Structure 1
Amino acid sequence: MLSQADAAIVARDTALPGLGLVLDAEALCARLHLGPMRPLYLRYKPGTSCVVTLGPVDGGLGAVAVMAHTPARHAEVRDRPEWQGKDAPVIVDGEACLTVVPLRRDRKLKGARRIADAARGAAFLKRLTGFAPGGGVRLLRYKAGRRLVIRVDGNGRAALIKAYAPREFAAALDGARIAEAHGGPAILGVSKRRHCIAWPWLPGDPLSGGAAQGRAAGIALARLHRTSVRPRATVRRAEETEELRAVPETLSALSPGLGGLAAGPVAAASARLLRTDFAPTPIHGDFSADQVLVHEGRATIIDWDRAATGDPARDIGSFLAHQDVLALDGGSIDGTAVGFLDGYAEAGGRVARDVIAVQHARALLALTAEGFRERRPDWPDRTRRLIARAEEVLRPLDPGLPDLTDALDPAVMRPLLEHALGQGVEVVGVDLLRHKPGRRALVRYDMDLDDGTKVPLLGKLRAKGPDLRTPKVHDALRAAGLDGQGSGGVGVPKVRGMVARPALWLQEEVPGRVLTDLLRPGSETGPARRTGEALARLHGAGTRAPRDWSMDDELGVLDRALAAAGKALPGQAARIDAIAVGARRLTEGLGQGAVTGIHRDFYPDQVLVDDRHVWLLDLDLFAKGDPTIDVANLLAHLDEAGLRHHGDAMALAEHRQAFLAGYEDLRPGLDPARVAVLRLVALGRHINLSLGLPGRRHTTDALIEKIEADLALPEVGVTVG
């Protein structure tokens, strides 16, 4: 029975009287008395023809091609001389303008005609394979007029045989010879006259999935791409974009809305393909998990019929797209794609991630009509999902930080890192450690250097472009003694280089545990005390800061945060406004304080501590300002952490006292009132943070209540209400 989508095609295409039958295999077989058959493939040219290949369910050679033509064309083809004969005659249905052509009568596949010849087929197969097909012949795939694939068994041996159309045979033979010369299947026999190639049936199983098998496939493909041979066939960008441009037209013929859906991603993929270059490379041309056999952990690539010289990313994108199709159809992919990419990189494959993405999308779009051709009943939904997946693949990882895609790509970053470091490197790992969408990211690069050392570096990427200030701050602070080697082991990471695009700078990864992880009620307070000492050394370094930070700036941040919180919490807006007024009044009443270089965003996540060192991180906001701002900011974070994790702002009081003691050991004379006021300013910002950061919403009311209570303390001096 026709699906609703197929019935709509039939209703639109009135030029083909038999189209409804060709699209309904069950009705077609019943009308023509063909017996139990299953559709293998369908080729549709709107208003011109539709050909469905049917194969017997027993896997025998009784396959047929059923051709639906216009009445005029049907009258021309029905009486072709080559379709006449006593054996395997062509069946004609004049009313529906259908022609049923047995495999034995396939005009373009000379090899198929001979193989299906009951009198001469066995002898031909014996000459081709070297053994008699006593164990039977099984049809594996058949596309009428294009290709036949069979398995032949006999005398304990088995062979795979393909019969090709004349225009495809030369390229297929070229690919087979290249494969044989580079570890692929050996050629068992060739018939140039009948355009057939035979190979021994290889041991192993088709790639079934999983990271290990994916890795083996990636390694095998990387080796293929490194071969020195060049197939005669080529795949150029112009051909790829032409292939893409045909997709909307093809889909519109099936369902007008589908063509419109595909137009956008097709245009985007075409434009991006034309902007990317590639080094001409030997490629498989039709790579997927179906083209890989795995035996004893080793992958062998098969089916080199479309081997060509082209973009290596085409093979990678094709593999990934077929994995997506498998997932859409309910199959399990179990990390196969990740393992595949890891194996490819491990074996020396180097292709830029953005080029892989566009080739991935190209392959997805090329597959959009396959559900219809394979006669899947859900083909319209399947097509829509493939288009959506192509759009997703084309979408930048972070549209506001477009360079992040390149920064995470080992193939892109390798030459840039070599230039920045002044020596050869091998990028063996890339990890995204932190990411603030649209603004910045922290990326770790694990590298093997030419001198044999293994170096992990951190790259700091930002959307605003290259950060020229912070590396200079690091250099100046290290020159002032904060290099991890001096008193107290206090330091900032060493700068290792700059990359203009992606706009990131590189620093050494330093050892230690994040201070946040060491702060628990009753835990050792030594790390907090050492952090106080480290902050005092930062404030005493005498390093020139690239910008100023005033109390007005500090209040401006608070005002914006509380305004946002009041808007999000209209029921609490009056209380939040009162906090803003009280904090401003207190801050404006502070006298002029000391001025030093300050961190400006100092809290426990910015500190790494080990037995010998205290490392200060993320000095992007380093400025000239009141050092009490840094002290107060860390204390406010301890208050918030106590509320969030323990329900008590005083839960980390011992650590707070240790931090202050460590600071005053080196910079005595902190003004308690000044610290209290600026701590409330910093804590006020946490009201808004609690609304946006995961796991903090339960602290909002407690923060408001605590700040109100603290503002009313005598040592602070403002009553809220």
Structure 2
Amino acid sequence: MTPPEPAGGPALLRYRPTDPAASPAVQELLDHLGLGRLDPDGLTGYGGRNDNWAGRTASGERVFLKTVARAPDGTSGELDRALSFEALAHRLPADSALRSPEHLGSHRPGAVIAYRLLPDARSGTEVALDDGFDDELCRTAGRALAALHDLDPSGADLDDGEAPLPPLDWLEALPWSALQDRSMGQIAAWKLVQDDPEVVAALRGLRERERTAPRTPAHCDLRFDQFILADGQLYLCDWEEFRLADPARDVGAFVGEWLFHATCSAFAPTGGGGQEAPVGFDLTHDEVLRRGREGLRRHLPRVEAFWQGYLERRTPDPGLAGRAVGFAGWHLYDRLIATAQAHATLSPVARAAAGIGRTLLTRPAGAEAALRLHSPTPAGTTPRPTRPTGSTR
């Protein structure tokens, strides 16, 4: 897929999609829905591992379609989990803080799912890159996750299997089947984890605590690009990993996204005289650490606003914040591994992000306060003063 040429203004991450004719299930689904063919004019796509298409059909309907993974026997756990969310989402009240694009239908044999396309939508990644994912949007994201975690799953057919990441077996060694598909950078990233006995022990301990934690409906694959901003409203999408799980996974992933963004944005090219490499190869170790600390200070108010929004709508179990710190630590390693796909070596900035993750996993004492994940104030007590976050909107 070829990215479009930049046209100035806000970042718009769009791609030239594959020919939908190469996926007959796409047209079969559109015919079943009575929407007609996709109009090739203006047809576009979004990033991601799955083929997807966004545009208008012959009937004038704006749609977003995507394929999801299928097993060799033709079944698709990803499609099943996405549809289980759609079934459960009908229980949300009309004024729920949790919004998701309208599901139009699906094609099970072809593992294709269709949604109504939100006009002028931008992914959360784009919004964050433009510094538009402000305190108020973070607070809204916290309320949305609280609404998700408070959904009543009774009687619903939800996947209750253990979430796949982090894969405990891979903490010892990568299986040959996985090794063949990994870049040299990703192998180096996994070696960074495997050669650190403290991190391995911390990840095993986190999975043990997760097994005894209360379980709720959870997204389980939360990143900025799973959020969509359209017409001033925040939506959450991509439900292929939805299941009953520890809600700390989602909280920790959102916190981890901000920590990763804070680290990387500290090394983005500046508008000044020199264009400094965002990967940080030209920087000293002390400069990497200094910039990383400054980035964290700038972005922590977003984490605090998110957590405040969460607490406005839901009272978490006593250990959730502590487990969320651990999952935030894992998220930084997960993002390190994902972004290493196109590289042969790990950059200093990537290593700096992993260093923050290591600290959260191996020395969690005090991390809840440092990340402003304070516990709910018991009834009848005086809240501890916090610095106002203030919206940047």
TM range (shorter): 0.5 to 0.7
Q: TM-score, normalised by structure 1?
A: 0.38
Matched letter for residue 430 of structure 1: R
Q: Deviations over 1:89-144 (max 9, x none)?
A: xxxxxxxxxxxxxx94xxxxxxx3544xxxxx4x653434624322453232453x
Matched, 1:234 2:160: yes
> Are the aligned partners of 1:410 and 1:430 in contact in 2 as well (CA < 8 Å)?
no
User: RMSD of the TM alignment (CA)?
Assistant: 3.8
> Secondary structure of the residue that 2:256 maps to in structure 1?
helix
Higher RCO (Cα < 8 Å, 6 or more apart): 2
Where does residue 192 of structure 1 map in the other structure?
108
Matched, 1:158 2:84: no
Where does residue 309 of structure 1 map in the other structure?
244
Residues 132 and 361 of structure 1, relative CA distance in 2, 3 Å threshold: same
Matched letter for residue 392 of structure 1: T
Q: TM-score, normalised by structure 2?
A: 0.66
Where does residue 354 of structure 1 map in the other structure?
322
> Are the aligned partners of 1:291 and 1:301 in contact in 2 as well (CA < 8 Å)?
yes
Where does residue 364 of structure 1 map in the other structure?
332
Question: Which residue, 77, 80, 84 being the options, matches 1:174?
Answer: 84
Where does residue 430 of structure 1 map in the other structure?
384
Where does residue 487 of structure 1 map in the other structure?
none
> Secondary structure of the residue that 1:430 maps to in structure 2?
coil
Matched letter for residue 266 of structure 1: V
Q: How does 1:157-556 map to 2 (within 5 A)?
A: 157-164=61-68, 165=70, 166-167=75-76, 168-179=78-89, 181-182=91-92, 183-203=99-119, 204-207=121-124, 208=127, 209-229=133-153, 230=156, 232-236=158-162, 243-247=167-171, 249-250=173-174, 253-254=187-188, 258-275=192-209, 277-295=212-230, 297-330=232-265, 334=299, 335-351=301-317, 352-373=320-341, 375-376=342-343, 379-394=346-361, 396=363, 409-411=374-376, 414=378, 425=379, 429-431=383-385
Unaligned runs of 5+ residues in structure 1 are: 1-35, 39-56, 64-102, 105-111, 116-120, 415-424, 434-721
> Secondary structure of the residue that 1:197 maps to in structure 2?
strand
Matched letter for residue 248 of structure 2: A
How far residue 290 of structure 1 moved from its aligned partner, in angstroms, is 1.7
Structure-2 separation of matches of 1:354 and 1:321: 13
Residues 231 and 278 of structure 1, relative CA distance in 2, 3 Å threshold: farther
Where does residue 138 of structure 1 map in the other structure?
44
Residues 431 and 153 of structure 1, relative CA distance in 2, 3 Å threshold: same
Unaligned runs of 5+ residues in structure 2 are: 4-13, 93-98, 128-132, 175-184, 269-294, 388-393
How far residue 157 of structure 1 moved from its aligned partner, in angstroms, is 3.1
Q: Deviations over 1:2-26 (max 9, x none)?
A: xxxxxxxxxxxxxxxxxxxxxxxxx
Matched letter for residue 43 of structure 2: V
Where does residue 96 of structure 2 map in the other structure?
none
Matched letter for residue 137 of structure 1: L
Residues 169 and 393 of structure 1, relative CA distance in 2, 3 Å threshold: same
How many residues align structurally? 309
Question: Percent identical across equivalent pairs?
Answer: 18
Structure-1 separation of matches of 2:186 and 2:223: 27
Larger radius of gyration: 1
How far residue 186 of structure 1 moved from its aligned partner, in angstroms, is 2.2
How far residue 212 of structure 1 moved from its aligned partner, in angstroms, is 0.8
Matched letter for residue 308 of structure 1: R
Residues 403 and 293 of structure 1, relative CA distance in 2, 3 Å threshold: closer
Where does residue 148 of structure 1 map in the other structure?
51
How far residue 309 of structure 1 moved from its aligned partner, in angstroms, is 0.3
> Hey, which of these two has a bigger chunk of strand by percent?
1
Q: Deviations over 1:399-457 (max 9, x none)?
A: 7xx9988997324x64xxxxxxxxxx177843489xxxxxxxxxxxxxxxxxxxxxxxx
